[in-house]
Amino acid sequence: MYRLSHTVRCPVCGVEFRPTVGYLKGDEAEVMCPNGHIFTVSVPNGDSVLDCEIRDWERFGLLPQATQQAVLEVIQSGKVPNELQALMRRLKEIGVVVCT
Amino acid sequence: MKLVEELNVLRYYKPFIEAFGGVKQVRTALRWSEWYAVKWWEEVYNDLGLQSIRESVFARALFISLKIRDYVREDGNIKKRPEKPEYPTNSYAMEFVDLHESFDRIGAVNVAANKADENTLAVLYSTMLSQGWYRILRQTFLRLMEIERYPAVFEPVVKEGHTAAAVMEITTPKMYIGFDYRRDNVELASATLRTRPGECGGGICIFQAPTACDAVKIARRYAPSGVDAVLMLHTLYWLLDPVKELTCISQIIGPGGKLLVGQQVVESTPGLIAIVTSFGAKHVFSWKGVEQILRSAGYQLSKRYLKYMPYYIAVWEPKRS
């Protein structure tokens, strides 16, 4: 559970507040405003993989087949599932994946 | 695997076995781990000799785990070779074997001689942590530990935040405090948990500290009355000085609090434990060694679930005088 760094507006009563987010469903989470109204907010992750490509195929080839497939799917879709965030960051850091 | 241990695995680790496609598939995967371990040890021994076990934790892990299985002699020579197993058909079991295959491509001798590219190993570590079989292993452990019973949790060596994220999938602890001695891990864990390093927003606190003793001093600010559980899933071998650091960790455990331990040991999967040591683990333990360390650090056993298969699992608590 953590508090978002930005404020959101409750669609029911209009109050602005910094919501506390619990379990995420994809990029969305249910939050409750101070007046008790529950609604869904978007919580995009900070990692974008738009316009990315594999640059170091030799190192990429060392990964297990299923992981290679998962990384290619991430690059195609532009969305990083939470469990692959760390791996994608590491791949970008060492230049296996390069994003423009 | 002894009969009692086998029965306990079925009793406590059923979801993992089922996801792996049953006992036969698990056994096939484990046989691959042994097969690779023997292959790697033979390569390391032929190239670097027996002294490699003094210079490399990876070589030591291979030697000890194979010696207790009677695959190698005291002098390091191979005593017997396992037959190459058939390839598993279950996708999680295949993932497990593929991890070994990937590691094999890096080269056991390169790893033992400290010549393997550190970044490539780091990527493979991230890969392992994100693989489906490892996710199930984590989930099974957390459910067995009934993690939802503990409102305030401290996780030493939080790594990339996968265990913390798995906890959040099961429950919403009031307070989750984690540290790592590596800056990159603190950043990755914070990103995974969508929080900021060094901040304590919304009950999740992830920060960098050189040792568990330093971390406990910081954690006390966030949880002055202590935490309900300390979560150590495959963490003991990352600690520089396990007895000293575990002693410090006991000081953050509040009244009635528990230490939840899951730890790969030399009696577990030999290939896998060797792989993990290559990622920077500082020690290899037997299951009895784990218990000796915990006792030396002032803990008493609350409940032991499994000794070594698929890994050591137990609940401990600080001995209060």
pTM of the model: 0.88
Show residues of chain A in contact with B130, CB under 8 Å. Answer: 67, 70, 83-84, 86-87
Select from A1, A91, A94 the Cβ nearest to the Cβ of B203.
A1
Show residues of chain B in contact with A63, CB under 8 Å. Answer: 102, 123-124, 127
Q: Is A2–B194 a contact, with Cβ atoms under 8 angstroms apart?
A: yes
Q: Is B275 left (phi over 0), alpha (psi -120 to 50) or beta?
A: alpha
- The pLDDT value given to residue A6: 62
Alpha-carbon distance B91 to nearest alpha carbon in chain A (angstroms)? 9
Q: At residue A4, does pLDDT exceed 70?
A: no
Q: Is A21–B202 a contact, with Cβ atoms under 8 angstroms apart?
A: yes
CA distance B174 to B152: 6
Q: Where are the domains of chain B?
A: 3-130, 137-318
CA distance B10 to A97: 41
CA distance B301 to B263: 15
Select from B160, B196, B202 the Cβ nearest to the Cβ of A20.
B202
Q: Give per-residue pLDDT as tens, B154-197.
A: 999 999 999 999 999 999 999 999 999 999 999 999 988 888 89
Residues A52 and A88 in one domain: yes
Residues A34 and A16 in one domain: yes
- The pLDDT value given to residue A51: 86
**Shortest CA distance from B129: residue in chain A:** A83
Q: Give per-residue pLDDT as tens, A54-99.
A: 999 999 999 999 999 999 999 999 888 888 999 999 999 999 999 8
Alpha-carbon distance A60 to nearest alpha carbon in chain B (angstroms)? 9
- The pLDDT value given to residue B100: 98
Biggest alpha carbon–alpha carbon distance for chain B: 56
Q: Is A66–B98 a contact, with Cβ atoms under 8 angstroms apart?
A: yes
Select from B102, B130, B168 the Cβ nearest to the Cβ of A83.
B130
- The pLDDT value given to residue A22: 63
Q: Is A22–B172 a contact, with Cβ atoms under 8 angstroms apart?
A: yes
ipTM of the complex: 0.87
Residues A7 and A26 in one domain: yes
Residues A54 and A88 in one domain: yes
Partner B contacted by A25 (CB < 8 A): no
**How many structural domains comprise chain A?**
2
- CATH architecture of the domain formed by B137-318: 3-Layer(aba) Sandwich (3.40)
In chain B, the percentage of residues whose pLDDT exceeds 70 is 99
Alpha-carbon distance B158 to nearest alpha carbon in chain A (angstroms)? 13
> Which residues form the domain of A24?
2-43
- The pLDDT value given to residue B299: 98
Q: Is A1–B130 a contact, with Cβ atoms under 8 angstroms apart?
A: no
CB B283 within 8 A of CB B291: no
Residues A54 and A74 in one domain: yes
Q: Looking at chain A, which runs of residues are DSSP E strands? A: 2-3, 8-9, 16-17, 20-21, 28-32, 38-42, 52-54, 97-99
Nearest CA-CA partner of B61 in B294, B279, B245: B279
Buried b (16+ CB within 10 A) or exposed e, A44-63: ebebebeebebeeeebbebb
Q: Which residue has the tokens 């452990």?
A: B141
CB B49 within 8 A of CB B76: yes
CA distance B101 to A61: 11
Q: Which positions ≥6 away from B189 have C-beta within 8 Å?
A: A86, B158, B159, B160, B161, B164, B178, B180, B206
Residues A58 and A94 in one domain: yes
Q: Is B123–A91 a contact, with Cβ atoms under 8 angstroms apart?
A: yes
Q: Give per-residue pLDDT as tens, B29-85.
A: 999 999 999 999 999 999 999 999 999 999 999 999 999 999 999 999 999 999 999
